[in-house]
Structure formats: structure tokens, C-alpha cells
Amino acid sequence: MRPVYIAGVALTPIGEHWELSLRDLACEAALKALEKAEVERIDALYVSNMGAAPLQSQLHLGALMADALGLYGLPAMRVEAAQASGGVAVHEAHLAVASGLYDSVLVIGVEKMSDALPQEVRSALAMAEDQEYTAYTGVTDVGLCALLHRLYMERYEAEPEEVAALAAISHEHAVGCPHAQYPFRVSVERILSSPMEADPIHMLECSGIGDGAAALVLTADRGDVEIAASTVAVDHFFLTERSDPLTLEAVGTASKRAYERAGISPRDIDLVELHDSTTIIGILSLEELGFVEKGFGARYVSEGNVRRDGELPVNTFGGLKARGNPVGATGIYQVAEIALQLLGEAGRCQVEDAEVGLAENLGGVASTATITILRRH
Amino acid sequence: MSVPRYWREIKYRYRLIGELCTECGAIIFPRRSLCPHCGCRELEECKLSETGTVLSWTVIQHPPKGYEKYAPYVVALIKLDDGAQILSQVVDVEPEEMRVGLRVEATFRRVREDGSSGIIEYGYKFRPIIEEP
Ligand SMILES: [Zn+2]
């Protein structure tokens, strides 16, 4: 296996892009990334997407996007692992280059959610779960997180304010981020007085619905940012079969494997992009990633440790909550953001002297967990 | 949902039929090809307990397509008395009455309707147990 580098990254602002199609968004990000990367040629194309089948009735995204970009003849494919599609696409693309099979590959994450009605989007998101028994109950993705949220507060006596702090800090970080969907401050009080989405989860504790695309060029040519590790792990698909619903086993497994591969420990990580689809998932993730002991995640966050100038800067562009969560593209946004931080191109969101960053991208209630660790050279 | 797809699950959804692992004794629901805990492939069909206790619950305010007219509704993680866990709606209860530890029993209910011409889908839901004197 040889080292893999990130040669070019690009991302579109996340929002409701009424004037842009799925294809337009993907091309915008991909062409910019290709321009920056200055590689001789692209050997393969990976398109990460979750919802184009239910939301646009569109499959076959590999060939469709390759055609849109004038990339004829190369292997092209869609990678789908629900909300973890991005992380898994990076994993597959990285393997192809690391193995020596391809020298330079293009990864595009794209999602277009504003074309559909909210209940259609909720059904599409619920497709991450088993349709015969889990989705059949009428539970939503946020509803499943709510079951964990209540268990967490009861077991560890966490206060609602401590859990909600993650959303408030993420919003703080998005201020000044040009690609963030919600780049404004929201106080903990306002979060906790927003309507319930799925008790005890308030609407302002969930990520929203957005359109966006991000692209990466991975290459074997030596560059400034290396993929130090890219791992994927899966857990019991049914929450009801896990021995402890508050243990995101796949996150633990994938991150341990990633630390080992990168030859580092959690203490060496300078910044983190978390999969905070809801606040509780972000908090459980911090614990599972080894940054804080089990049961202390909410307190750790509310004490301000995850602020950009804190001990462990988290969601430095706003995370899923404030940067936005165009599901199939989210994992690519996270990796692009870490790369921007390590390259010193994060603008107003810049973290000082960051050398190693970690991105965590999850599918379902962490049925799939993906970890990407980037290192600056 | 197509008729065969619905019909396939009727026995399990209508009667709460799961499986017992002959190796490790785990009760498995829904049915599958091997035990998720020990990998054993010898599983025997069994009837699940129809009573249990709420481990956690939520109220779905904004439902997916097909469930709109039921909202808001309660969904709970329930530990059945035989040790199996199940996800289910809890009905005949106001959200304010929900609590962790609530005793519930299975009941047979309508789940959703597939448009005006499609099939009407049924299955299990749970409701609070009212104790006999
Ligand atoms: Zn077994």
C-alpha cells in the first residue's frame, strides 16, 4: 500500500439551490476540484449520494456524472451507505489509489433534497433503516436518535442544556463560513425553546435539509495533505439487537483501527468534524472516539472544550447542524473541510497550527461508521 | 407496498413470531438466517412475549409519508418479558403519560394505508397495561 494525498478540494455553498440540478451541483464542485488539483488525468470516478433514487428517481450516477464532466471511458460508480456514503466513497477511492491500481481519482459527494416535500425527505432518510420492521413503526431517523437521547439523559443525569450546547457551539463556528447553510449564532435557550421534533429532541438540535456538492481529487503524487487512515465498520443493523444502545460500537471499532493505522492516539488529533446529525449522536461520538469518558460527553461539550480555541476544536465550519447536512455529500464536505484547515485555507474558521484532523461520518444510527484521518506534511 | 411483500410478513407482524437460538438461547426478532449473537444457524420459531416494559420513548411530530394522519404518535423501545427487545408504536396513551418503566402489552392495529386503492396494512402496536383488580 502506498500513501495517498489530497490534491484538490472544492465545495458548493449548502442551501436550497432551486436553480441548480443534481448534475449542476456535482459539476460545479468537481470542475473546481479538478482545476485545483492539476493532475494529468483521472483514472476513476466515485459518486457518493444517498437520496437520488427516491428524491429524483435517478440512478446510474457514475455514468451520468462522468458524462456531465466529459470523462469518457473511465470506471465510474455510485457509492451508497445511507448518510455514510461520503465516508465510504473516500474509503473505496483511497483503497484504489493506495493499491497502485489508479494514480488519481475523483470523488464527488452530491445531494439535492429541496426538490421533494419534507415528508418525502423523511421517508428517504428512513430508508437507512430496515423497512419491514423499523421504518414500519413510523419512526424517523430523528426519532431513533431521540430514544438514545432520553436514555443518555436518564443514565448519566445529563442536563438538556449540556446536550444542546453542541448545537450552539456548532452555530458559533459557522459564522463567517461561506459554504455554511446556517452561519449564525443560536443560543442554548433558543434551541431548547424551539418546538419538539421528536421528544426530547428539539427542532434546533437536528440538522436540516439542504442541497450541496463537494469534491476531492485523491492522488499518489506527493502533496501537502495525506490520508493517514480511512476506515469503515458496521454494527448490528437493528438498534434492538445491540447490547447497549448507547454504545456506538462501529464508531469505536472504526476509530481504533484508524488510530492504529495512522500510528497515533486520540490525543494527537488537533480537530474533529463530527457526525452531529442530532446533538446526542455528536456527543456519543465524542465518547466513542476516545476523547472523553463514557457519560461525560455532554459535560465536556458544555464546558466549552470543543470550541475552536478549546482543547479539541470540533465542527470548525459548523458541522452537520450549521454547515448543513446534504446527506450523501456530507462525508465529502467533512474531509474537504479538514483538508482546508490543514492547508491553512479555512479563512475565518481557521484553527491555528493544526496538523492532524479526523472526520467521522455515520449511516443510520451508526450502523455504518467511517473515519478519515488527514495529516499535514 | 406490494401485496406479496406485505403478505410475507403477516405471520410475524400479526402474531409476534420470532426465533429462539438453540445454541445461546437468544430470542431473535425479526426472524433471520442466523443468530446475530453467536452465529448459530439452528433457530426455532417461537412466540414472543406480548407484555413488556418501556426502556425509552419518543413522540414523532413530523412523520414520514403514509403516517401523516396518525401524528403525533409515540414510538418506544420495549423490553419484552422474555428478554427480547422490540421497537413499536405505543397507542391509547397521551404523550404526557409516557414514562420509562411503563408496562405495555401488544395489540393489533392498522399501521397505514397505501393510497386510496392500495392495501390497508396492519401489525402490532403496544398499549399501556391496565391491571386487573
Ligand atoms: Zn445464538
Interchain CB distance below 8 Å, A198 and B55: no
Residue A234 lies in a domain: no
Asked if residue B25 belongs to a domain, the reply is yes
Total number of domains in chain B: 1
Tell how far the Cα of B43 is from the centroid of ligand 1, in angstroms. 8
Q: What tens digit of pLDDT does each residue of B4-23 get?
A: 999 999 999 999 999 999 99
Q: Would you place residue B1 in the very low, low, confident or very high pLDDT band (cuts 50, 70, 90)?
A: confident
Instruction: Pick A126's closest partner by Cβ from B57, B58, B64.
Output: B64
Residues with CB under 5 A from ligand 1 (ion): B 21, 23-24, 26, 35, 37-38, 40
A27-55 tens-digit pLDDT: 999 999 999 999 999 999 999 999 999 99
B80 assigned to some structural domain: yes
Q: What pLDDT is recorded for position B83?
A: 96
Decide: residue A70, CB within 10 A, 0-12 exposed, 13-18 middle, 19+ buried. Answer: exposed
A78-135 confidence digits (pLDDT tens): 999 999 999 999 999 999 999 999 999 999 999 999 999 999 999 999 999 999 999 9
User: At B15, which CATH number?
Assistant: 2.40.50.840
In a domain, B36, yes or no: yes
The answer as to whether A185 is a domain residue is: no
What's the average model confidence in pLDDT over B32-61? 98
CATH at residue A51:
3.40.47.10
Residue A44 is assigned to a structural domain of this protein: yes
Helix runs in chain A, H state only:
22-37, 52-56, 61-68, 85-98, 118-126, 141-156, 160-174, 188-192, 249-262, 279-288, 297-302, 319-322, 327-343
CA distance, residue A242 to nearest chain B CA (Å): 9
Asked whether residue B133 is assigned to any structural domain, the reply reads: no
**Cβ separation of A240 and B67 shorter than 8 Å?**
no
A197 touches chain B (CB under 8 A): yes
Contact A137 B85 (CB under 8 A): no
Question: B63 is in which domain, residue-wise?
Answer: 3-128
Report ipTM for this prediction.
0.97
Q: To the nearest whole number, what is the mean pLDDT of chain A?
A: 98
The neighbour count for residue A39, using CB atoms within 10 Å, is 19
Inside any domain, residue A357: no
Residue A283 lies in a domain: no
Interface test with B, best of A55, A155, A202, A240 (most B CBs within 10 A): A240
Give the closest-approach CA distance of A238 to chain B in angstroms.
9
Range of the domain at A85: 5-117+210-219
A59 touches chain B (CB under 8 A): no
Residues B99 and B107 sit within 8 Å (Cβ to Cβ): no
Total count of domains within chain A: 1
Contact A99, A93 (CB under 8 A): no
The pLDDT of residue B17: 98
pLDDT of res. A221: 95
Residue A193 located in a structural domain: no
Residue B111 lies in a domain: yes
Nearest residue of chain B to residue A246 (CA atoms): B56
Is residue B33 in a domain? yes
